[in-house]
A and B are shown apart, each in its own frame.
Chain A
Amino acid sequence: MGDMKHPLKFGLYLLMLGSLPAFPASAPTLQVSKSDEDILVTAGDSGRRGGRLQASLHSDPKTLNPVTAVDVPSKQIIGLLGADLIHINAYTQRTEPALAKSWKVSSGGTRYTLELRHSIQFSDGHPFDADDVVFSFKVYQDEKVHSPQRDLLEVGGKSIQVRKIGPYQVDFELPQAYAAAERLFDSVTILPRHLLERAYEEGKISQTWGTTTDPSQIAGLGPFRLKQYVPGQQIVLERNPFYWKADPSGNRLPYLDEIAFLIVPTEDAEVIRFQAGDVDVISRIGADNYATLEHVQRAKDYQLYDAGPGLEYNFLFFNLNDLSSKHLPDIGRKQEWFRRVEFRQAVSAAIDRESIVRLVYQGRATPLWDQVTPGNKLWMNADIPQPPRSLARAADLLRSAGFTRREDGVLVDAHGQPVEFSILTNPSNAQRTKIATIVQDDLAQLGMQVHIVPLEFQAVMARIFDSYDYEASILGLVSGDADPNPEINVWTSGGATHVWALSETHPTPAWQSEIDRLMQEQTTMLDYRQRKHAYDRAQELVAQFDPVICLVSPHVLVAAKNMVGGFKPAVMGDYVLWNADQLFRTDVAGRR
């Protein structure tokens, strides 16, 4: 798990910008485009051409194949090598045209007609057209290929029909109206048919474009193409001379000649190499290291950015799984407490979120009472109450649920059993363990005895997802997209990441049924305000009934050398390299 420090990523949260590797044809480097080439002109200032940027990855990418990639480093690289039809701008969190320059939606919202860019080329110089799009979707939707994107391209359990209308026109027929359907295209990298069709027909598409593939065999529509990969050391990407974007002055993007990713296994090592000048940008720093960098910022040749809360939410949850098929009588007995809404509300009321923000994140986090963070500009419900910590209210709630305090201060339930439970954490995530220690002390003040059980990450996952042999745990989830649709997996019963109750007990509580209904309903609403209304209500229910107890959302903290121009960190996607095509070095002598 190269990604142990990051919160668990779930299946649906792919955030690839699209992707396709390319090859070094002896391409012309002319700045002026051919007259019929559909170039996208970006807004904003112009930068300087040339130079190399050094970034880092925490582990080697497992593959460069957009069809099979699931790990974060692979997706990050593939995101720079390829492109998608409609793209979600990580900064505005809204969709924008990419390879599709425009699109029309039928009145019922089920048919999307996409107009593709004319006369643009893959990074090997081969022209791009509707056949590539149809081919790509055929591959992703093919059951035998087992692409993780396949589920994304299903609406209401049926797949989307793709049809070529003209050389630059493609029709997408949805089985039913689907809210924000254009966001579906964001994760789907367009593949070069001329390079991959044979492999696909031979049934070998999943094995192509591994990390040992010759760079000349890889082509895409992204701003960069693969130049060199030395496993365990670095990956070098070079500028794609055929890229389909230009700046307002008419210079073809990207500005940078190269981006090199050093493989640096830990965040601490990354910070040290950043200080040493080996790395120019860091895409995610923990609050501790941020403070350190801030403290030792002597040379002032770098800048730290606190981009505010991201889309990650950390939460405490109790095991509410149906344990009737498992032999876990002890946990079953404790579930009598966990299932009481008052019990969970009392725990929530007793937790000092402000202290977590201050002690664990040095103030660089935001307390949460529901799952949508303030980083989610379009979907946050600002009316969720944010009650301050109150032990008195917690004690009242517990009393109303039949809990009492013994002479020695220990909290006991109606049968006189002391309230005692354990929280699973993985020590590889220092922050989560610290949160657990604070929660432990907070709950001790209610007379609850909480044990912290550090287990290796895989063991924690196995207990949560398979054996259900745990009492409580703390996890963080991060959405790849700001839209509520991917969250369905988490909040509806039966969802793959409905972690606290993967097997729901019947009868389902009324509030859970309401969340299920709201989350399903909003997928077919086409009006943003209507959807927002439904999702606001779902957030209210989560805040009120505390199926999980939301704690904090850490801020997205990044750093960049002063010479990095066009730097604009976002709180979703690839925080610093989402606009890699517009990044430039202010210290190169290149043309402006």
Chain B
Amino acid sequence: MIKNPKLWLSAVALALIHLLVIGAGFFAPYDPTEQNRDLSMAPPMRIHFVDSRGHLNRPFVCPWVAEGQRTGPSGYVEDCSKVSALRLLVRRQPVRNGKTMLASLHLFGVDTPARIFLMGTDDYGRDLLSRLLYGGQTSLGAGLLAAGLSLSLGLLLGCVAGYFGSWTDDVIMRGAELFMALPWIYLLFAVRAFLPLHLGARQAFLLLIGVIGLTGWARPARLIRGVVLVARQRGYVLAARGFGASSASIVLRHILPEVSSVALTQAALLVPQYILAEVTFSFLGLGVGEPAPSWGNMLASLQTYSVLEGHWWMFASGLALVPIFLLFYWFADSLQGRLQVLGLSR
């Protein structure tokens, strides 16, 4: 385990990030769609430890106060005359459809009516930290599920093509080439045009996974087919066939283990690629729609020059992608190295 620290570090870090995102309901201080219209585009709040008299205190925040109509960094000033202490494990009652819902537990928060925005707010005064965490459910979730889908398809079709060869192989591989030539974005435009006008956030999410996953099977399928082609010539496969084993059992028992290392590495490479695909689609307004957050639609407001120029905290979801991608690539890289070692020693 210690032999390959890079593998384990990246795996643990990824697991933590996913845990954070899955537990958004607990880690995020607010509902991601809750608007605070008096605090639109407020910069991140600072956590203070030292009060105005210079005494060390338990952590607290000072509320933003709007100066006139302007929003943005110069539109707000900190008002430390009424501070609110940062509390851990608070209960809040969210409001949905104009009705107050059951209280839920949150990791941290401040006593109402004060509010805490550690990452600032967006155009509508929605807490960016909460949106980042909930948006991760969409973006990271889409990446994982779409990768799972396209890999399963790739595995199935790759094994079939590689194992049976001849015309089956031809049909599947020409199909794969066709799919690789498909322009995804236009395909999504087309699919969207045929669907009913309003897709709920969940349907839009599933549609995205469907399109990304179903169009992405070709690359892994080609790779897996290559491995299967080699594997089916191996002595133990020929032996098994000689003993009368069925095709299914040969594939499952002898060929799949050979392929698994390639498939795993592929998965680690495909996930970030598909996360990026989701982000791109949502950025273009084709993915999950407002008010549900996704890292893509959160970035959409950066299309305006004024936001780009003066509201740096709106980059949050874009910046979050960088370490996640790096971790996934490290993970894929070290996984490949490790599996090669294992493969050789077998």
When the two chains form their complex, are residues B35 and A441 in contact, meaning their CB atoms are under 8 A apart?
Answer: yes
- Chain A window 280-308, contacts with chain B (Cβ cutoff 8 Å), 1 for yes, 0 for no: 00000010110110011000000000000
Complex partner residue of A430 from B72, B96, B198, B303, CB under 8 angstroms = B303
Segment at the interface with A among B80-88, B174-182, B238-246, B306-314:
B306-314
* Besides the known contacts A288-B306, A422-B198, 9 further A-B residue pairs in the complex with CB atoms under 8 A apart: A288-B305, A292-B309, A296-B309, A355-B37, A359-B40, A409-B97, A410-B97, A451-B198, A451-B200
When the two chains form their complex, are residues B69 and A363 in contact, meaning their CB atoms are under 8 A apart?
Answer: yes
When the two chains form their complex, are residues B124 and A359 in contact, meaning their CB atoms are under 8 A apart?
Answer: yes
In the bound complex, residues from chain B placing their C-beta under 8 Å from that of A494 are: none
Tell me whether A289 and B123 are in contact in the complex, defined as CB-CB below 8 angstroms, given that A409-B96, A409-B97 are known contacts.
Answer: no
Interface size on B, residues (CB 8 A): 37
A selection of 28 A-B contacts at a CB cut-off of 8 Å is A268-B305, A272-B305, A288-B306, A288-B307, A289-B306, A291-B72, A358-B37, A358-B40, A359-B37, A359-B123, A362-B71, A405-B98, A405-B99, A408-B97, A410-B97, A422-B197, A430-B301, A430-B304, A438-B37, A441-B124, A441-B291, A444-B96, A444-B98, A451-B198, A451-B289, A452-B289, A452-B290, A453-B197
When the two chains form their complex, are residues B197 and A268 in contact, meaning their CB atoms are under 8 A apart?
Answer: no
Cα A436 to Cα B124 with chains together (Å) = 12
Q: Which of A418-450 contact B (CB under 8 A)?
A: 421-422, 424, 427, 430, 433-434, 436-438, 440-441, 444-447, 449
Q: How far is the CB of A355 from chain B (nearest CB, A)?
A: 5
Cα A451 to Cα B204 with chains together (Å) = 12
Cα A147 to Cα B122 with chains together (Å) = 47
Interface band, chain A: 35 or more
Q: Which of A451-466 contact B (CB under 8 A)?
A: 451-454, 459
A471 proximal to B (CB < 8 A): yes
Complex partner residue of A470 from B72, B96, B197, B303, CB under 8 angstroms = B197
Complex partner residue of A408 from B74, B99, B125, B200, CB under 8 angstroms = B99
- Chain B window 44-78, contacts with chain A (Cβ cutoff 8 Å), 1 for yes, 0 for no: 00000000000000000000000011111010000
In the bound complex, residues from chain B placing their C-beta under 8 Å from that of A427 are: 284-285, 300
B280 proximal to A (CB < 8 A): no
Chain B residue nearest in CB terms to A267: B305
In the bound complex, residues from chain B placing their C-beta under 8 Å from that of A434 are: 123-124
- Chain A window 150-190, contacts with chain B (Cβ cutoff 8 Å), 1 for yes, 0 for no: 00000000000000000000000000000000000000000
Q: Give 4 nearest A-B pairs by CB, closest first.
A: A409-B97, A363-B69, A409-B99, A451-B198
B266 proximal to A (CB < 8 A): no
Cα A352 to Cα B40 with chains together (Å) = 15
Chain A residue nearest in CB terms to B303: A430
Q: How far is the CB of B121 from chain A (nearest CB, A)?
A: 11
Chain A residue nearest in CB terms to B189: A456
When the two chains form their complex, are residues B305 and A271 in contact, meaning their CB atoms are under 8 A apart?
Answer: yes
Complex partner residue of B289 from A362, A391, A453, A471, CB under 8 angstroms = A453
- Chain B window 260-304, contacts with chain A (Cβ cutoff 8 Å), 1 for yes, 0 for no: 000000000000000000000000111001110000000011011
A257 proximal to B (CB < 8 A): no
Chain A residue nearest in CB terms to B300: A427
Chain B contact residues: helix, strand, loop or mixed: loop
Q: How far is the CB of A25 from chain B (nearest CB, A)?
A: 44
Q: How far is the CB of A419 from chain B (nearest CB, A)?
A: 11
In the bound complex, residues from chain B placing their C-beta under 8 Å from that of A295 are: 72, 74, 310
In the bound complex, residues from chain A placing their C-beta under 8 Å from that of B300 are: 427
When the two chains form their complex, are residues B98 and A409 in contact, meaning their CB atoms are under 8 A apart?
Answer: yes
Q: Which of A267-283 contact B (CB under 8 A)?
A: 268, 271-272
Cα A525 to Cα B242 with chains together (Å) = 102
A322 proximal to B (CB < 8 A): no
A469 proximal to B (CB < 8 A): yes
Cα A459 to Cα B197 with chains together (Å) = 12
In the bound complex, residues from chain A placing their C-beta under 8 Å from that of B193 are: 459
Cα A422 to Cα B306 with chains together (Å) = 29
In the bound complex, residues from chain A placing their C-beta under 8 Å from that of B70 are: 291, 362-363
When the two chains form their complex, are residues A447 and B197 in contact, meaning their CB atoms are under 8 A apart?
Answer: no
In the bound complex, residues from chain B placing their C-beta under 8 Å from that of A430 are: 301, 303-304
Q: How far is the CB of A515 from chain B (nearest CB, A)?
A: 30
B33 proximal to A (CB < 8 A): yes
Q: Which of A359, A405, A469 neighbours the largest number of chain B CB atoms within 10 Å of its CB?
A: A359
Tell me whether A358 and B69 are in contact in the complex, defined as CB-CB below 8 angstroms, given that A292-B305, A409-B98, A430-B304 are known contacts.
Answer: yes
Q: How far is the CB of B127 from chain A (nearest CB, A)?
A: 14
In the bound complex, residues from chain A placing their C-beta under 8 Å from that of B68 are: 363
Q: How far is the CB of B198 from chain A (nearest CB, A)?
A: 4
Cα A436 to Cα B284 with chains together (Å) = 17
Q: How far is the CB of B42 from chain A (nearest CB, A)?
A: 12
Q: How far is the CB of B189 from chain A (nearest CB, A)?
A: 8
Q: Which of B89-144 contact A (CB under 8 A)?
A: 96-99, 123-125
Cα A440 to Cα B69 with chains together (Å) = 23
Chain B residue nearest in CB terms to A293: B306
Cα A440 to Cα B310 with chains together (Å) = 27
In the bound complex, residues from chain A placing their C-beta under 8 Å from that of B301 are: 430
Q: How far is the CB of A151 from chain B (nearest CB, A)?
A: 34
- Chain A window 457-498, contacts with chain B (Cβ cutoff 8 Å), 1 for yes, 0 for no: 001000000000111000000000000000000000000000
When the two chains form their complex, are residues A437 and B291 in contact, meaning their CB atoms are under 8 A apart?
Answer: yes
When the two chains form their complex, are residues A268 and B98 in contact, meaning their CB atoms are under 8 A apart?
Answer: no
When the two chains form their complex, are residues A291 and B306 in contact, meaning their CB atoms are under 8 A apart?
Answer: yes
In the bound complex, residues from chain A placing their C-beta under 8 Å from that of B35 are: 438, 441
Cα A445 to Cα B291 with chains together (Å) = 14
Q: Which of A363-422 contact B (CB under 8 A)?
A: 363, 391, 405, 408-410, 421-422
In the bound complex, residues from chain A placing their C-beta under 8 Å from that of B98 are: 391, 405, 409, 444-447
Q: How far is the CB of B301 from chain A (nearest CB, A)?
A: 8
